Structure 1
Amino acid sequence: MTGQPPVPTSGRARPRVVVVGGGISGLAAAWALAQEDVDVVLLEAAPRVGGPLQTAELAAGTTPVTVDVGAESLLARRPEAVELAREVGLARDLVQPATTRAAVVLRGQRHPVPRGTVMGVPADPASMAGLLTAGEVARAAAERLTEPLGEDGDVDVASFVAARLGSAVVDALVEPLLGGVYAGRASGLSVRSVLPALWPAARDGASLLEAVRAAARASQAASSPSAPPDGGGALGLVGTAAGGGVFAGVRGGVGRLPGAVAASLGGRGAEVRTSARVKRLRRVGGAWQVDVEDRWTGLVRREAADGVVLAVPPPAAAALLADEAPDASAAMAQVDDAGLALVTLLLPPGSLDALVDDEGDPLSGLLVPPSEGRLVKAVTASSRKWAWVARAAGRAAGEGTEVLRLSVGRRGEGAVLARPDAALLAAVLEDGGELVGHRLDPLASLVTRWPAALPQPDVGHAARVAAVQRDVATLPGLALAGAAVDGVGVPACIAAARRAAGVVVADLLATRPG
């Protein structure tokens, strides 16, 4: 500790708000605060902002290919992410997928992803014909109502959907979609938190099928659902962009978004500080005392703030809440997480010729249920899905060159993710080659790991978060944001960040003299 007293806030012309965490949640909170009459400081422990929204380069000859190594698409039917991209200067670079024709692999065969589902739960069980047996379709159509859970109830997704529609629906579609979005398993995830559109059916004992139909009508989903198979980030109803832009991307990569927000914050006079780890947070003398360690020197500076937004993963939030909100800290410490790895390949022309549907039309991706017993859980043909990726690959390595992303890792598969890069790459190449129907001999490859990237909303998660929020609300000028608070997916994180910023601003106004 440097021994320095905290920088006082009382002599400042404007209140000072510190945002802890430079992922998309922290960046969005800082951007919302920068529109207000406050001074904003964002502190990020890593050397760069963005968390798992990042780009990297596939080296092929003298011209590298820039690719997303985190989420590669944004759910455009929720406006928050697209709005933020436009606000920070990326409007002209927002693009729609060229195709999102995906298939699910079941019993070794490819089947079109059925139309109109909410996270794999069908609006019309008949749409699953071919994917499921006739008996399994009939079982889903003859929905069996269950007892209402009540306002305070909850249940895991697998138990609820299986009881209503049969276990085949869970195994064939719900599991691979949850594996992509959450890196989780249906038996561990909360209906209330993961399927909010369907929660009323569980709460009230109403029809699940009718709830899916209502959700489909409400969001005007037009075509076959194909959530980004590698965890690209969609909650609720998912569908193709063919009929009106369910998904959006950013030319040059969604990973450009954090940098654009950070640059815009600088233009607004906000301070963005990386390699700055917040070690402790305390309420002292009517202000917040923030101890910040410099990553490179190890020196700790004590600063003061009128307000704080915590936009960090649950373990970090638990540590920083320990002094002032021990109950909230204990609750956040109970939130589990899961990690994943992405293997990105630059492939010679023709490598994906066999990645087609039954009619010979090219597929943009594959979803693989856990029941298939494979290492790879999802495949995305990025050069088919995004025209800008195809052009970049062509410039780097010749016309027809393909970019393929393969996703690995579900909750409980830590041993898989702990393999050395070379061993993981070799295993993914073998398994992925069997899935796409062609030997994978990459011209270039990247292995990207995101350990503990996705909080797991287990049964009871919503009640736990509500209790945390109530506890934190007793502390003036403090608010929480992040995927553990309001759900994964870039739009959900941005919405939560805006709310947290609003809470802090309201607190500052309420305590301002005069």
Structure 2
Amino acid sequence: MATRRRVAVVGGGIAGLAAAVRLRDRADVDITVYEQSGALGGKLRTGELAGGPVEFGAESFLMRDPAGGESAAVALVHRLGLAGRIVHPTVGQAALAVAGGLRPIPGGTLVGVPGDLAKVTTVAQPTRDGDRDGGGPLLDPVRDVSVGALVRARFGDEVVDRLVDPMLGGVYAGRADDLSLVTTMPALARATRVEHTLLDAVRAAQAAVPRAPGEPVFGTLDGGLSTLVDAAATASGAAVRHHAAVRELTPTAAGWRLVVGPARDPEYVDVDAVVLAVPARPAARLLADVAPSAAEEIGGLDYASVALVTFALPEPALPELSGFLVPATEGLLVKAATFSTTKWGHLRRPDGLALVRASVGRYGDEAQLHRTDEDLAATVHRELSAVLGTALPAPIAGHVQRWGGALPQYTPGHLDRVAAARSVLRRAHPTLRLAGAGYDGVGIPVCVRSGETAADEIITALEGSGR
């Protein structure tokens, strides 16, 4: 009687859980998820504040994928029987905090990059003669550049500083001048290989995935995104090991040996295959002896740390906005704020309490996060009041959630480096795969797809090996 194959999923974030669900669906294997912390879900964490649910991590997912179909997150929600819980924002208009006031974010942009220069003049004055047709595509087929470098050259500094940088910063906590175009804006990158001007590239990228009027861009789950985590863990049928740090990874004749737990009391586990769904630096440490060239390719990826400060405020005077973004040039600690109970109708409360969440922390400015929770909360409260032009009431409850090393900073060439690392692993170690935000991009759909792809490749490798 054949022994059931065993697969270890190292990392219990949404990428690792998505891999475990796909393994369960497609293969007859024993799955164990090894999670270093005491909780699954990674940056998906639903908590409670003032008697109601609140997200202490990611708050939503994209409804569609880059090709126009349902996103991998939506597909997973359906697979887990949670489709009836999907809800959408009831207020979609957001603003920019510019020059001491709030101005609506202009329409017709692609992550802040204009497709119509006339529409952005309320917040930035673009350079109108910089986007000239040079007689050929903006970028050659293999070139990657930073988003900021491309947009500054074509539209000028204000468009980057007041539009693109805060919008990218809201997602990555990074700077447009450092972030890879190919990784962070793949649709625009593809269009630049064909179009001769940036305006035409933006329009082409937008036209490639048309969106019906009123179609929701984002969704979340009534009850919180931790329901997605719990449902995925259950559906995977995996054995879950909490507080189980994998410290070493060694190839064996039959697969892999994991060294789990503290050095003083190690546990040795033999498996047939491994999905490595942890951030790039810990993955590089595990690969240092196994595949040193792959480890070198991914080990240089840096991460930004952020903090989320959430208040429950008694009947504050808030604008009818989903929230606002703050350009770094404004000199504020807050880089983004969400009026959660305005944005999400399912969170509105009969007692009049409003949930307001602010994001703090930009790449390269981590020293600001060394403040105490009390200092962070007081500064955020003061800055929110200043931006809104009215003193917010004192919160009846608050929460500070720190995410150290949370957001990957993809410099130009990132995807090529990841592809090189994966190529090494496919040739030398076909039963070991990488998955997660450190490799393929941020956002729940991207992480889900990354985990599912890793699982598919593991299954193919196991079937091909005859194990």
Shorter chain as denominator, the TM-score bin is: over 0.9
Contact 1:143 1:165 (8 Å CA) reproduced: no
Deviation at residue 214 of structure 1 after TM alignment: 1.8
Residue 12 of structure 1 deviates from its aligned partner by: 5.3
Structure 1 residues 220, 151: CA separation in 2 closer, same or farther (over 3 Å shift)? closer
Q: Distance in 2 between matches of 1:482 and 1:415?
A: 27
SS of structure 2 residue aligned to 1:198: helix
Matched, 1:368 2:326: yes
Give distance in 2, aligned partners of 1:80 and 1:249: 13
| Aligned residue type for 1:84 | L
Aligned counterpart, 2:37: 46
Question: Do structure 1's residue 388 and structure 2's residue 346 form an aligned pair?
Answer: yes
- Counterpart Cα distance in 2 of 1:184 and 1:254: 24
Where do 5+ consecutive residues of structure 1 fail to align? Answer: 1-10, 224-242, 357-361
For residues 321-470 of structure 1, what are the structure 2 equivalents within 5 Å? 321-349=287-315, 351=316, 353=317, 355-356=318-319, 362-391=320-349, 394=350, 398=351, 400-440=352-392, 441-470=394-423
2:207 corresponds in structure 1 to 217
Note the alpha carbon deviations across 1:256-283, whole angstroms, 9 max, x for none. Answer: 32122112223xxx21221111111110
Conserved? CA contact 1:22–1:42, under 8 Å: yes
Deviation, structure 1 residue 26: 0.4
Matches within 5 A, 1:129-278: 129-133=121-125, 136=126, 138-139=128-129, 142-143=131-132, 145=134, 148-203=138-193, 206-221=196-211, 243-266=214-237, 270-278=238-246
Name the CA distance, whole Å, in 1 between partners of 2:107 and 2:216: 16
Is 1:197–1:211's contact at 8 Å kept on the other side of the alignment? no
Aligned partners of 2:384 and 2:289: how far apart in 1? 48
The match for 1:69 is: 56
Q: How many aligned positions are there?
A: 458
Quote how far apart the aligned CAs of 1:149 are.
4.2
Gaps of 5+ in 2: 66-70
Aligned positions of 1:59-98 closer than 5 A? 60=50, 64-78=51-65, 79-98=71-90
Identity of aligned pairs, percent?
43
8 A contact 1:265–1:272 mirrored in 2: no
Could you tell me how far 1:437 is from its partner in structure 2?
2.5
In 2 relative to 1, CA 298–25 (structure 1 residues): closer, same or farther, beyond 3 Å? farther
Whether the 8 Å contact between 2:297 and 2:417 is mirrored in structure 1 is yes
Partner amino acid, structure 1, of 2:100: G
Shift of 1:82: 1.3
Within 1, Cα distance between the matches of 2:88 and 2:195?
A: 38
SS of aligned partner of 2:206 = helix
Q: Distance in 2 between matches of 1:406 and 1:298?
A: 42
Separation of aligned partners in 1, 2:195 and 2:201: 11
Q: Which amino acid aligns with 1:90?
A: L
Q: From the superposition, tell whether residues 166 and 344 of structure 1 become closer, same or farther in structure 2 (CA, over 3 Å).
A: same
Aligned-residue RMSD, C-alpha: 1.9
Deviation at 1:139, TM superposition (A): 4.7
Q: Please, which moves more after superposition, 81-90 or 472-481?
A: 81-90
Asked if the contact 1:322/1:329 (under 8 Å) is kept, the reply is yes
Distance 1:405 1:139, change over 3 A: farther
1:178-220 per-position Cα deviation (integer Å, ceiling 9, x unaligned): 1110011011111121111121344457322112112222222
Q: Match of 1:108?
A: 100
Query: What TM-score do you get using the length of structure 2 for normalisation?
Result: 0.94
Q: Residues of 2 paired with 1:436 and 1:15: CA distance?
A: 58
Of 404, 410, 433, the residue aligned with 1:479 is: 433
Residues 303-327 of structure 1: CA deviation (Å, up to 9, x unaligned): 1111111000011101111121011
Do 2:322 and 2:338's aligned partners in 1 also have CA atoms closer than 8 Å? yes
Matched residues in 2 for 1:73 and 1:12: separation?
A: 43
- Give yes or no for contact 2:95–2:102 (8 Å, CA) kept in 1: yes
SS in 1 for 2:140: coil
| Cα displacement string for residues 224-250 of structure 1 (whole angstroms, at most 9, x for unaligned residues) | xxxxxxxxxxxxxxxxxxx11211011
For residues 164 and 206 of structure 1, the distance between their equivalents in structure 2, rounded to whole angstroms, comes to: 11
